[in-house]
């Protein structure tokens, strides 16, 4: 069966993430000493707003939703995002160095450049998204549009092949699983 040129182009013009929901793009983490930070781009393809409300990881004793911002004296300070991270409908939100991020505290094993860590993100509407995050300690640039082999999405097929089938129980941000 022959496809017309227009039909063939339409097949390839469809977005990589065709369903409505949350997509996590270009994740990476940096670890220094006893903690790390994870960054990524959240795309919300749904019409309605969503919110990242918590995160957990089998690779960290505690995962916290945080932001960094300069205080009145220009010194960078981190604060807990008690209300989570809002993502408007049909928009994106970047977790990037110097801004919003996930703190990965008390690693359950040594983590070094080139390793991966698994994080389970819980969204108010989209539910859980399991993300395998590569450790890139020297990376300084913010997340991009990807695609990367580590991108993930909500719903069926939301976990990359490398992610474990059964994630650890979810921790509320700012709490420990111990």
Give the model confidence (pLDDT) of 130-139 as tens digits. 999 999 999 9
pLDDT for position 102 = 98
> pLDDT tens-digit profile of 143-178?
999 899 999 999 744 333 333 333 333 344 444 343
Give the chain's domain count.
1
53 in a structural domain: yes
7 in a structural domain: no
For CA atoms 130, 135, 136, 141, the dihedral sign is positive
* d(C-alpha 44, C-alpha 102), whole Å: 18
Exposed/middle/buried for 106, CB within 10 Å: 0-12, 13-18, 19+? middle
For CA atoms 127, 80, 107, 35, the dihedral sign is positive
Host domain of residue 30: 17-153
Identify the CATH number of the domain in which residue 136 sits: 2.60.40.1890
6 in a structural domain: no
**Token code pair at residue 124:** 């108010």
Report residue 19's pLDDT band, with 50, 70 and 90 as the boundaries: low
Q: Is the pLDDT of residue 29 over 50?
A: yes
pTM over 0.85: no
3-class secondary-structure state, position 169: coil
* d(C-alpha 177, C-alpha 129), whole Å: 19
170 in a structural domain: no
């Amino acid at each position: 069966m022959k496809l017309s040129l227009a039909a063939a182009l339409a097949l390839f013009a469809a977005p990589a993430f065709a369903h409505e929901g949350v997509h996590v793009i270009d994740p990476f983490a940096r670890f220094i000493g006893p903690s790390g930070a994870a960054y990524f781009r959240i795309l919300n393809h749904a019409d309605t707003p969503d919110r990242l409300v918590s995160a957990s990881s089998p690779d960290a004793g505690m995962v916290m939703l945080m932001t960094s911002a300069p205080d009145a004296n220009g010194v960078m300070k981190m604060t807990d995002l008690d209300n989570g991270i809002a993502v408007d409908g049909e928009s994106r939100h970047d977790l990037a160095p110097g801004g919003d991020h996930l703190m990965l505290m008390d690693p359950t094993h040594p983590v070094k450049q080139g390793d991966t860590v698994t994080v389970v993100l819980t969204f108010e509407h989209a539910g859980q998204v399991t993300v395998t995050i590569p450790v890139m300690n020297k990376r300084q640039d913010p997340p991009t549009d990807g695609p990367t082999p580590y991108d993930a999405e909500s719903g069926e097929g939301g976990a990359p092949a490398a992610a474990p089938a059964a994630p650890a129980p979810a921790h509320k941000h700012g709490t420990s699983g111990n």
